[in-house]
Amino acid sequence: MISKLSHAGVLVLDQNSAKQFYTETLGFTVRNDVEMGADFAGAGQGFRWLTVSPPGQQDLEFILAAPEMGHDEETARQLRDLVAKGAFGGGVWQTDDCRKTYEELSQRGVTFVQEPAERPYGVEAVFRDDSGNWFSLTQHF
């Protein structure tokens, strides 16, 4: 029996910039930032394992992965293009106050593609991370 989701994530265009965005802009904490060095030649060398957690959910590690991970050059290029185009969505982040969080994040330069709006299930806005992944920001009723 599966009990819960512990890891999920998105592809990001630049892990350094994503780390800064998720921590400084969104207020997440870094859980892991490890790069496999030359010791791991042939077994993951160059792989950077970068995960963050939202303030209220330390048992979820959100993976900020490079499109190159595990892919040939052409596949990585295609993935990178799709991320840049804004084709991917990463999920729903929960908040106690959507309108307030919208104001705070807007002031920090976050791109919103939809302002807070009332839905049958709550108040919801839609924003993008610094790579172009879109997320819902929802205050559930």
Partner 1 sequence: MSRSPDTTRLVSLRSARDLIDRDFATAVNVTALAAQAGYSRYHFIRAFRAAYGATPGDYLSRRRVERACELLRTANLTVTEVCFLVGFASLGSFSSRFSELLRCSPSEYQRRAAEQGGPPPVPGCMVLMWDAPRPAMRNRGEAAGDSAPVASARTERMEPIEGDKT
Distance of CA 122 to the CA centre of its chain: 22
β-bridge pairing 122-128 and 111-119: antiparallel
Q: How far is CA 131 from CA 37, 95, 138, in A?
A: 25, 22, 20
Q: How far is the CB of 13 from partner 1 (least distance, A)?
A: 6
The residue ranges that bind partner 1 (CB under 8 A) are: 13-16, 66, 77, 80-81, 84-86, 89, 92, 111-115, 117, 119-121, 124, 126, 128, 132, 134, 136, 138
Q: How far is the CB of 103 from partner 1 (least distance, A)?
A: 15
Q: Which is nearer to partner 1, 1 or 109 (CB)?
A: 109
Q: Which is nearer to partner 1, 54 or 86 (CB)?
A: 86
Residue 96 amino acid letter: D
Helix (H, G, I), strand (E, B) or coil at 78: helix
Q: Which is nearer to partner 1, 58 or 140 (CB)?
A: 140
